[in-house]
Amino acid sequence: MDYLAGLNPSQRAAVEHTEGPVMIVAGAGSGKTRVITYRVAHLIRRGVDPFNILVLTFTNKAAKEMRERIMKVVGDEAKNIWMGTFHSVFAKILRVEAEHIGYPRNFTIYDTDDSKSLLRSILKEMQLDDKLYNASFVYNRISSAKNNLISAQEYLSSEQIQAEDHSNGRGQLGQIYMTYTQRCYKAGAMDFDDLLFKTNVLFREHPDVLHKYQHKFKYLMVDEYQDTNFSQYLIVRKLAAINENICVVGDDAQSIYAFRGANIQNILNFEKDYPDLKVFKLEQNYRSTQNIVNAANSIIANNKNQLKKNVFSENEQGEKIKVCRAFSDNEEGKIVAEAISQERALKGLAYRDFAILYRTNAQSRAMEEALRKINIPYKIYGGTSFYQRKEIKDLIAYFRLTFNPNDEEAIKRVINYPRRGIGDTTVDRILIAADKHQRTLWEVISQAPVYLDGRSAGAVGAFATMIQGFQVVAKNHSAFDAAMHIAQHSGILKDLYADKSVEGLSRYENIQELLNGIKEFTEREDIAEKGLDVFMQDVALLTNDDNDKDPNADTVSLMTIHSSKGLEFPHVFIVGLEENLFPSQLSLNSRSELEEERRLFYVAVTRAEKKLTLSYATSRYRWGTLNNCEPSRFLDELNPACLELDFRSRPAPENAGSFADERQAWGQRDVFTRPKPKVMPKTTAMLPKAHTPTPGFAPSDTSNLQVGMEVEHERFGFGKVINLEGSKNDVKATIFFKELGQKQLLLKFAKLRIV
């Protein structure tokens, strides 16, 4: 396979330049993943040992895709590359080296829920106001400190930080951080931020360990470098210090995660770290039409703080970007839903070809209502991940206890689930005994007769014996056999099976799905160790972007713009382009914040392949009050040659006329003209015939509707029921209509007449 033949000159140059510091500035849709994978393959083809290559990504999905592509070029050698997310790679290193910093190798990894649960316990013990010291706020404060490598001790000893906290009425934050750190350590647990924070501590305090990995990783590649924080930056810098064969790939124009600690200066100042840096720019966009690329360029040109590049497209010119004005957010939803329905019918598209992007989650409501009204199926991304569901977290807590019985949060989660006679009073006694005798919760539980009395000691002792039994099974059996044993003998399977409600059945099926996933894990050929503890590490390190997003599901995609990064769709709608919404009111305090909002808009625009529609409402409800809205300043920054207006006949509020009038009111030149009315073609053969309902049409009772029945719909005409799914009030019928083809309808909304 001549993997270099399909690369353009810029891509090929970036792939072949393997020695020394390299920065690849990759514009949107420019083939970045191809360049990274072929560059790694090229290193291996040149004789570099895959064990000496480290590739860091931000999602497991990206790492998996890259490894599969590399395997197509170099074969099974790709399995030996150190490739994965920052958190997964350094968790792997910490498993080996943790004892250097006083942690067991089988440390637990706390997810966000575990961390917040522990913080709530600490706040309760310290008798602090949980409104002033909200667990989410405290968690984010601690996370920010760790990402900037500020330990709890340094936090407490910093006069500046302490003065800031006291001035905000939160003078106990430092002590909470210290207690949280101590409790995690005592439980043998690290949170997500610790995986990077503790790696920095390890490398700083143990130069011999750092030296070992500096010589192991002779070639480093970092994807999405614009999204790295200070902690990640420092680790990469240290690892590359000896060989300096470091290649970072990214696009400053797509740096949108400052709220998560990402520092755009890492990519903007990379040349200062490596003066002999070689820079390659991938500027050809293979994804979008020329109109969309030109519009995106006109947006990002307004940012002062950027690496200059000239992104271009050789694709078709494409349709102009439509700008729609709605009277309200509900009308905006209606406009979008109708546009999707019409485009799909006229062009024979699938629902999966459409995506609706918004700045805030709350905006989905109006879109959902409009889509439901005309039976358009949709899926919201960024909802509850499979591994965040209660029943899954319950069983995984048992797995965690099996390998780390000191895991305090796991103990509290399942010690009385399913119910085994260990109530809150007994749990409080365990906590008091642990504190009084300076013991871990597990030490108290495993020696229950020493610390507890009566019936509670018996119930707690039985729980300890059960966990010890799980430890023996897990040590001697495969991940699947151990997981099945724990699911059965913990009582979880029995408890969920006994619940015959729709929700109970769903939870039981979710547990089955988890066990199926573990079975698949044990049958994978690309991993050597297949114990339940290894599977647990994989689960703990799943990123938000790794949620199951079935690309084949025929639904319209709804998501925030942040969630859309890395995705692409033929047709994209960006809604809510209004001042104080997008750009956000919270992002207008400084140039750097405004520029991040503009980069967010750039990311949204560049998700579109064929067609892009922008919309805004002239009024929107906020906190129950209807407010007039101004169009976003970002609309003014778009190249007018790329745009087409679609202003409906409904007038704007009194304080605004057409979009052009609004621009003039801001003292800017009028660059828009109302488009000429489109003349419909004389022939309508391409359009479905309008259905005339049967005289006296009245919907039937469809509670007993069956497959094979003939039905009539007021608009869609006559059809035949070919499938029914769902239960009670949520039965969905698949009907083949003679004029329109197959459609799915919710019976409670469909208004069908049984023929």
Could you tell me which of 195, 189, 193 has the C-alpha nearest to residue 110? 189
Q: Active site includes 596? A: no
Q: What HEC string does 109-137 produce?
A: EECHHHHHHHHHHHHHHCCCCCCCCCHHH
Place of tokens 């909802």: 383
- Name which of 535, 513, 514 is nearest 524 in CA terms: 535
State yes or no: 604 annotated in a binding site.
no
Is residue 62 annotated as involved in ligand binding? no
Instruction: Please report which helix (H) or strand (E) contains residue 598, including its range.
Output: helix 591-605
List CB contacts of 402: < 8 A, sequence separation 6 or more. 467, 470, 471, 474, 482, 486, 532
223 carries an active-site annotation: yes
pTM: 0.73
Tokens at 536, concatenated: 């647990």
Round to whole Å and give the CA distance between 362 and 379. 15
Of 247, 242, 336, 215, nearest in space to 614 by CA: 336
> How many other β-carbons are positioned within 10 Å of the β-carbon of residue 72?
12
Instruction: Confirm or deny that 59 is annotated as ligand binding.
Output: no
Question: Two tokens at 39?
Answer: 């560059």
- The architecture (CATH level 2) of 312-385+549-645 comes to 3-Layer(aba) Sandwich (3.40)
Give the Cβ contact number of residue 225 at 10 Å: 28
CA angle at 618 for the pair 612 and 619, rounded to the nearest 5°: 125
- Give the pLDDT score at 55: 95
How crowded is residue 217: how many other Cβ atoms within 10 Å of its Cβ?
A: 21
The domain spans of the chain are 9-100+197-282, 108-187, 312-385+549-645, 386-542, 709-754
**27 among the known binding-site residues?**
yes
Cα distance between residue 15 and residue 395, in whole Å:
45
> What one-letter code names the amino acid at 153?
Q
Please state, in angstroms and rounded to a whole number, the distance separating the CA atoms of residues 249 and 225: 6
Q: Who's near 636: CB < 8 A, 6+ residues apart?
A: 663, 666, 668
Q: How far is CA 734 from CA 338, 377, 479, 728, 744, in A?
A: 21, 12, 40, 16, 4
In angstroms, the CA 632 to CA 390 distance is: 40
Query: Token digits for 310?
Result: 């000239």
Active site residue 224: yes
- CB burial of 691-715 (b: ≥16 within 10 Å; e: otherwise) equals beeeeeeeeeebeebeeebebbbee
Check: CB of residue 417 under 8 Å from CB of residue 411.
Answer: no
**Alpha-carbon distance 141 to 138, whole Å?**
5
DSSP letter string, 294-311: HHHHHHHTT-SSS-----
Residues 6+ apart with CB under 8 A from 110: 118, 184, 189, 190, 191, 192, 409
Question: Do the Cβ atoms of 566 and 545 come closer than 8 Å?
Answer: yes
- Taking the CA of residue 291 as centre, how many other CA atoms within 13 Å lie in the half-sphere pointing to its CB? 18
> Of 12, 18, 33, 495, which one is the catalytic site residue?
33
Reduced to 3 states, what is the DSSP secondary structure of residue 7? coil
Could you identify the residue written with the tokens 């430092």? Answer: 174
Question: Catalytic one among 170, 359, 439, 607?
Answer: 607
At residue 661, what is the residue type?
D
33 is catalytic: yes
pLDDT at residue 537 in the model:
81
Q: How far apart are CA 516 and CA 504, in angstroms?
A: 18
Low-confidence ranges of the chain (pLDDT < 70): 1, 383-385, 502, 526, 542-552, 621-625, 648-690, 728
pLDDT in tens, 510-565: 888 788 878 878 877 767 778 898 888 877 776 555 544 555 678 999 999 998 99
Contacts 24+ apart (CB under 8 A), 410-414: 410/108, 411/441, 411/442, 411/445, 412/117, 412/121, 412/441, 413/117, 414/490
CATH second-level architecture of 108-187?
Answer: Orthogonal Bundle (1.10)
Question: Class for domain 386-542, per CATH?
Answer: mainly alpha
Tokens at residue 649, please? Answer: 């006949």
| Distance between CA atoms of residues 697 and 190, nearest Å | 65
> What distance in Å separates the CA atoms of residue 735 and residue 711, rounded to the nearest whole number?
9
Q: What is the CB neighbour count within 10 angstroms for residue 498?
A: 10
Q: Name the residue among 455, 450, 463 with its Cα closest to residue 425.
A: 455
Rounded Cα distance, 107 and 95, in Å? 8
End-to-end, the C-alpha distance of the chain in Å comes to 60
By the 8 A CB rule, do 387 and 505 touch?
no
Query: Taking the C-alpha atoms of 690, 695, 696 and 700 in order, what is their torsion angle to the nearest 10 degrees?
Result: -60
Q: Do domains 108-187 and 312-385+549-645 have the same CATH topology?
A: no
CA 476-109-494 angle, 5° bins? 55
Question: Residues 97, 111, 114, 223: which is the catalytic one?
Answer: 223
Q: Which residues contact 550 (CB under 8 A, 6 or more apart)?
A: none
Residue closest to 395 by CA, chosen among 576, 517, 279: 517
Cβ–Cβ < 8 Å for 609, 570: yes
Question: Crossing angle of helices 159-167/173-186, nearest 10°?
Answer: 110
SS (H, E, C) 95-113: HHHHHHHCCCCCCEEECHH
Helices 112-125 and 135-147 pack at an angle, to 10 degrees, of 110
174 is in an annotated binding site: no
Q: Among candidates 115, 59, 64, 113, which has minimal Cα distance to 86?
A: 59
What are 724's strand-pairing partners?
733
Q: Which CATH class is domain 9-100+197-282?
A: alpha beta
31 annotated as a binding-site residue = yes
Contact 726/349 with Cβ under 8 angstroms?
no
Residue 612 token pair: 């892009």
Residue 340's CB is within 10 A of a number of other CB atoms, namely: 24
Kindly name the residue from 172, 181, 254, 702 that is annotated as catalytic: 254
3-state SS, residue 164: helix
Give 191's strand partners.
Answer: 110
- Report which secondary-structure segment, H or E, holds 79: none
- Smallest CA-to-CA distance from 640 within 315, 299, 306 is with 299
- From the list 111, 191, 224, 578, the catalytic residue is 224
For helices 32-45 and 9-16, give the axis angle rounded to 10 degrees. 40
Active site residue 609: no
- Assess whether 254 carries a catalytic annotation: yes
User: What would the 3-class secondary structure string for 307-353 be?
Assistant: CCCCCECCCCCCCCEEEEEECCHHHHHHHHHHHHHHHHHHHCCCHHH
